[in-house]
Amino acid sequence: MFEQYIEIFLGFLKAFAVGGLICMIAQIVINFTDLTAGKILVMFMLLGVAFQGLGLYQYLVDFAGAGATVPISGFGYLLANGAIKGAEMGWFGAFTGALSAASAGISAAVIFSYIMALIFKSRTKKN
């Protein structure tokens, strides 16, 4: 029973450390290059695809759980992982696998954004 709590605590600690580190790397890139948010997101997503393409990101996901899947590189991991799993089924799977794996995220983003756009009005930005 006690060991189980330690395991849960370690899970949070790993997620915090790995997720925080990925965000810190992104912040360092922003500080030194003035890239916009969109380009940072694309860059980290592509890094996730590349690392999973080489089969490396899976180790990070197994180690850190949400710490590796919650950052946008986890979205790239999902795309690459889906495509690889699809490729085992044949050429059609290789073609459809990437978006099938990411469909939960994209559908959720579209549906909830639509609902929020109906509910909320845009506010004047106070900077």
**Is residue 60 within the footprint of another protein (CB under 8 A)?**
no
**Is residue 86 within the footprint of another protein (CB under 8 A)?**
yes
Residue showing tokens 């549906």: 111
**Is residue 12 within the footprint of another protein (CB under 8 A)?**
yes
**Is residue 17 within the footprint of another protein (CB under 8 A)?**
yes
Q: Which of 23, 56, 59, 63 binds another protein (CB under 8 A)?
A: 23
Nearer to another protein (CB atom), residue 2 or residue 86: 86
| Cα gap 110→16, rounded to integer Å | 28
DSSP class of residue 122 equals P
Minimum separation from the CB atom of position 6 to another protein (A): 14
User: Nearest 5°: phi and psi at 5?
Assistant: -65, -40
The two structure tokens encoding residue 55: 């089969």
